[in-house]
Structure 1
Amino acid sequence: MHKYQKILVGVDGSPQAHAALDRAIELAKQNDAALIIASVLNSDKYVGLGMALGANYINKAAEVDLLGRLQDSGSVLVNQAKSAGITDVTLEITEGNSKTALAEDLVTKYAADLVVIGATGTNVVERVLIGSNAHFIVQHAKVDVLVVR
């Protein structure tokens, strides 16, 4: 049986992401693996809006506040993993495109050999228009991907 060494889990505060974290913790314990908990502030979504409305539309203080909130909520998740017995836990808070960050950038940065993500709750129309993160990551990641429902 393959033994995973570094498990990357994407979290965004959704119920699906919480389920993914629970599964990633379980797998990290079974494999004695490192766990990387990643939250990506999807700047693509708000930068386009700011460009359409003018460069000054995006409030830098609000962005810093959002990143701080992600850090705080991520710290709670790190403590959850440590309480479950995972000793090697890393929190990654970053900005960018969440799809490429989880499928490529963070996999490379941490040499992850498994990505765990929650299934999205978007409807069919949203998936056609913007594509789901899960679908993109499954299609583009060069490592195993587990989609948790």
Structure 2
Amino acid sequence: MDFAYKHIVVALDGSDASDAAFKKSLDIAKRNDSQLILTHIVDSRTFATAEAYDKTLSERAERYANDLLNGYSKKARAAGVENLAHCIEYGSPKVKIAKDVAAAYEADLIICGATGLNAVERFLIGSVSESITRYANCDVLVVR
């Protein structure tokens, strides 16, 4: 059976684990001649109440997301992956990646790191990677 991944969503948050996921996604994208969708979800739940005190919080979060994805785009192009897309969404990464982003790009593979930046949330209600594997309608690769 000849099966190739054509639309790969890679979840990026700036953590070491997401960096490892990105590196793995480069190999898979090159091998399959795939589109690589670089995705960052701004977890707006974390700053919804704080923004009442600091109006620039969402602007800084969006600037961080753009800088993050632009940096990964440069690395991907340097590694020989040209078919790239950027996706910045707002909301819960657990929901957005598995349901919204994957569906919007017709993803057949989601790649994410085993752990991300939010250790407190992982301890209290479970990890983003666990949620993605549970709710995604496509294959999921969790990179350690």
Poorly superposed stretches of 4+, deviation over 4 Å: none
Tell me how far apart the structure 2 counterparts of residues 130 and 19 of structure 1 sit (CA, whole Å): 24
* Number of corresponding residues: 142
Residue 84 (structure 2) aligns with: 89
Secondary structure in structure 1 of the residue aligned to 2:137: coil
Q: Gaps spanning 5+ residues in structure 1: where?
A: none
Where do 1:76-115 residues align within 5 Å?
76-115=71-110
Where do 1:1-149 residues align within 5 Å?
1-47=2-48, 50=49, 56-57=52-53, 59-120=54-115, 127=122, 129-149=124-144
Tell me how far apart the structure 2 counterparts of residues 67 and 126 of structure 1 sit (CA, whole Å): 21
Q: TM-score scaled by structure 2?
A: 0.91
1:45 Cα deviation from its structure 2 partner: 2.2
1:126 Cα deviation from its structure 2 partner: 5.2
What RMSD, in angstroms, separates the aligned Cα atoms of the two structures? 1.8
Tell me how far apart the structure 2 counterparts of residues 108 and 18 of structure 1 sit (CA, whole Å): 23
1:128 Cα deviation from its structure 2 partner: 5.0
Q: Gaps spanning 5+ residues in structure 2: where?
A: none
More helix by share: 1
Cα 1:72–1:126 change in 2 (3 A) is closer
Tell me how far apart the structure 2 counterparts of residues 24 and 100 of structure 1 sit (CA, whole Å): 21
Q: What's the CA shift string for 1:20-71, capped at 9, x where partnerless?
A: 0000111000000000000111112222xx1xx7x723x3322112211210
Larger Rg: 1
Give the letter for the 1:44 counterpart: R
Q: Is the 8 A contact 2:47 2:57 kept in 1?
A: no
Q: TM-score scaled by structure 1?
A: 0.88
Secondary structure in structure 2 of the residue aligned to 1:120: coil
1:91 Cα deviation from its structure 2 partner: 1.2
